[in-house]
Structure 1
Amino acid sequence: MAKEHNLLIFILTIGVFGILTTEMGVIGILPLIADHFHISVSKAGLLVSLFALAVAISGPILPLLFSGINRKMVMLFVLGIFVLGNIISIFAANFTIVLIARTIPAFFHPVYCSLALTVAATSVSKEESPKAVSKVMLGVTAGMVLGIPISNYIASETSLEMAMLFFTIVNAMAFIATLLFVPSMPVKERVSYGTQLSVLKKSVTWLAIFTIIFIGSAISSVNSYIAVYLETITNISGKTLSLALLLLGLASLIGTLAGGKLLTKNALKTVISLPIVLGIVYLLSLLTGKSTGPMMITILLFGILFAIGHIVSQYWITSAAPDAPDFANGLFLSGGNLGITIGTAIGGLFISGMGTQYIVLGGLLFLILSLASILLSNYMYNPKKQLSSIEEKADLPT
């Protein structure tokens, strides 16, 4: 039984890795795509921005619509679309076809990812679910971190088509593994659309959504410009810069697993501590930013805490809406993408207004907001507080 569970988690991890590699890996080959189709790099960038927009739009909707269908069939359907889209991209005669072949699968990205997180969480006890989810999130992190350098290396050493073939192979491996080794997973207790949507009537859900957006913005306002920061403030480039970015990526993998263990051990303490600890590290970067050695340590902490931030966000929204896990995970993906958009924009404003060194101030602003929403949510919906209130009412004379 344990072996079957571990195999299921591994296949889900490979699946999300393939989908996230397809999404993020194209960033590493944008200049090559621009040259291949004789377009500007900014136009090639539509492959990234439209993909993210499709994810943000479909995040709350499609996981809800697919929530009552056999989970294995849904996984095969989505992975099949990604395989087909990548094959079309390999042989595409013009950029428009590539854009369409990437954007259509992007709408189904939240379906697979939210389902994978739900399956992982429900495959173990409630206490162990954060640890199981963190293993699947490892695939998300690996796709985001490793997708870019892998695709860039393959395209540089061989061709653009071979890089896209890599995306195809990873998704095809997940498809075949799912087909052969994942058992049929019919939905035993189907939750109606109305019941799932009703979680939006609860203020705790909206507080969780705002928390996700704030944490995502706090991370992205710094992470989106980390290479620029290291070049201009720390004054490193070339192989040293590549090493620093690799360190950030590897630290994120560590942080993903650490986040799951911390949430399993003490969830509330982990959630409250995140914005405080990350805020302290942001402030420290104002002191370490100009020195290569200390900044490398700061980068390590950034990577670990950024990854824990994603795990915390996923845990917080699913805890707020336990009766609609698929829908909650869809909200997590949409809120996270919205946070990336807002954080990147605010980080850019701080760079243009105050200078690159002060991008952490934008991050600190969002961390304060995230901590406020977490504390407010905990104050309003703490089970112990509610229990004591009930007991007090029971003790009142009638």
Structure 2
Amino acid sequence: MTKQNNLLIFILTVGVFGILTTEMGVIGILPLIADHFQISVSKAGLLVSLFALAVAISGPIMPLLFSGINRKKVMLLVLGIFVIGNIVSVFASNFTVLLIARVIPAFFHPIYCALALTVAATSVSKEEAPKAVSKVILGVTAGMILGVPITNYVASATSLEMAMLFFAFVNAVAFIATLVFIPSMPVKERLSYGSQVVVLKKPITWLAVVTVIFIGSATSSISTFIAEYLETITNLSGNILTLALFVLGLASLIGNLVGGRLLMRNAMKTAIAFPIVLGIVHLLSFVTSKSTGPMMITILLWGILFAIGNNVSQYWITSAAPEAPDFANGLFLSCGNLGITIGTAVGGLFISGLGTQYIVLGGLLFLIMSLVSILLRNYMYSPTTKQLAS
């Protein structure tokens, strides 16, 4: 990659980090928000659930509507909306205002993230595309996993308002960097809405959609409850628990880079191996869960594989519909959020029915279904990228 491409991808990574930190970072300060507005924590949780619902709804639609507009202008628009929304959140006089200030930007979330993935892939050669995309997904993972403890730390060290201002600051940095360093990026070949939506007529697209939902459900059924799992099963607390979560986050960042390289070498083998290897690690957790040292190894493997799952999911949908990259990346984001919703619900059912330790069984169930859908696609279509996309 050239220096210009590296700078472009770095700015896109910062941008998605800011947007995902805005989405997920609030998890770390929900109790503070509940106290501040004198509401229940469950009501404060609407800041997370309604945000995710807005992303799931707008995922396939908004990137499609903005697909013909200059890429730079669209990125500035979305980042600007997030900056304004976060500033309004700082001065929100009541919970309703805060909720509105978060939900409105959420509808624009898929536009930037889908665009960032598309731009990263098209800024380099076809062979280097998975590697470039993995760097942008690194920003997604960092926002989802590191955004929570960072926001919690800022709020604990200063105030709730400063934590909200942190969201605005990161998005503002991405806005300024985009304005100054990214050149105008007009869409050279505008695709009609119909020519993009038509990819939904292809069976391979729906196979990809189902696979991504299964993968998202498999990982989120465990990752959502990872803190509770480590507290109740491994008996971690305090600094050791913090260290374990930090290991999970660091491993996820490594996993993004590993996932990109593996997809470059052999995408189909990587996709097939992913649910098998993660399934083995799930089973390993039954052996290691009671001991801190061995469990740290399992956490490390979980972090790496969860991140590889994001890379596989993004590749799986975009390779099924390469003729409509913006729409395909929108589908990826929508399906990923739907997977989080389903996986969290199923994980909760396993906790209430069997106990916290058995959330890995829910993950195994979804991994088996994802493997079946991956093998079905491999059987129905040739493994080469060209034939996959036909």
Above 0.5 in TM-score? Answer: yes
Opposite residue 18 of structure 1, the aligned amino acid is G
Provide the rounded CA distance (Å) in 2 between the counterparts of 1:32 and 1:109: 25
Return the offset for 1:353.
1.3
For residues 341-367 of structure 1, what are the alpha-carbon distances to aligned partners after superposition, in whole Å with 9 as ceiling and x for unaligned? 111111111111111111111111100
- Matched with 1:212 is 212
- Matched with 2:28 is 28
Provide the rounded CA distance (Å) in 2 between the counterparts of 1:383 and 1:281: 26
- Matched with 2:265 is 265
Is 1-10 or 299-308 further displaced after alignment? 1-10
- Matched with 1:38 is 38
Provide the rounded CA distance (Å) in 2 between the counterparts of 1:348 and 1:184: 47
Q: 1:151 to 1:342 in 2, by over 3 A?
A: same
- Matched with 2:94 is 94
Runs of 4+ with deviation above 4 angstroms: 383-387
- Matched with 2:347 is 347
Q: How does 1:1-398 map to 2 (within 5 A)?
A: 2-382=2-382
Return the offset for 1:232.
1.2
Opposite residue 178 of structure 1, the aligned amino acid is T
Opposite residue 217 of structure 1, the aligned amino acid is S
Provide the rounded CA distance (Å) in 1 between the counterparts of 2:133 and 2:379: 26
Provide the rounded CA distance (Å) in 2 between the counterparts of 1:93 and 1:50: 20
Question: SS of the counterpart of 2:280?
Answer: helix
Opposite residue 116 of structure 1, the aligned amino acid is A
Q: 1:39 to 1:68 in 2, by over 3 A?
A: same
Q: 1:198 to 1:357 in 2, by over 3 A?
A: same
Return the offset for 1:384.
6.6
Provide the rounded CA distance (Å) in 1 between the counterparts of 2:385 and 2:111: 36
Question: SS of the counterpart of 1:183?
Answer: coil
Return the offset for 1:40.
1.0
Cα contact 2:319–2:385 (8 A) shared by 1: no
TM-score normalized by the length of structure 1: 0.96
Provide the rounded CA distance (Å) in 1 between the counterparts of 2:220 and 2:186: 37
Return the offset for 1:77.
0.4
For residues 286-316 of structure 1, what are the alpha-carbon distances to aligned partners after superposition, in whole Å with 9 as ceiling and x for unaligned? 1111111111100000000000000000000
Is 350-359 or 11-20 further displaced after alignment? 350-359
Provide the rounded CA distance (Å) in 2 between the counterparts of 1:384 and 1:217: 27
RMSD: 1.3
Cα contact 2:268–2:383 (8 A) shared by 1: no
Return the offset for 1:336.
0.5
Provide the rounded CA distance (Å) in 2 between the counterparts of 1:147 and 1:38: 24
Is 29-38 or 77-86 further displaced after alignment? 29-38
Is 242-251 or 351-360 further displaced after alignment? 351-360
Return the offset for 1:238.
1.3
Q: 1:164 to 1:313 in 2, by over 3 A?
A: same
Opposite residue 115 of structure 1, the aligned amino acid is L
Provide the rounded CA distance (Å) in 2 between the counterparts of 1:35 and 1:386: 55
TM-score normalized by the length of structure 2: 0.97
Q: For structure 2, list consecutive stretches of 5 or more residues without a partner in the other structure.
A: none
Is 308-317 or 233-242 further displaced after alignment? 233-242
Question: SS of the counterpart of 1:382?
Answer: coil
Question: SS of the counterpart of 1:259?
Answer: helix
Opposite residue 303 of structure 1, the aligned amino acid is G
Return the offset for 1:57.
0.3
Q: For structure 1, list consecutive stretches of 5 or more residues without a partner in the other structure.
A: 388-398
Opposite residue 220 of structure 2, the aligned amino acid is S
Return the offset for 1:169.
0.8
Identity between Structure 1 and Structure 2 (%): 80
Question: SS of the counterpart of 1:100?
Answer: helix
Opposite residue 105 of structure 2, the aligned amino acid is P
For residues 26-70 of structure 1, what are the alpha-carbon distances to aligned partners after superposition, in whole Å with 9 as ceiling and x for unaligned? 111111111111111111111111100000000000000000100
Question: SS of the counterpart of 2:266?
Answer: helix
Return the offset for 1:236.
1.4
Provide the rounded CA distance (Å) in 1 between the counterparts of 2:88 and 2:289: 44
Return the offset for 1:386.
11
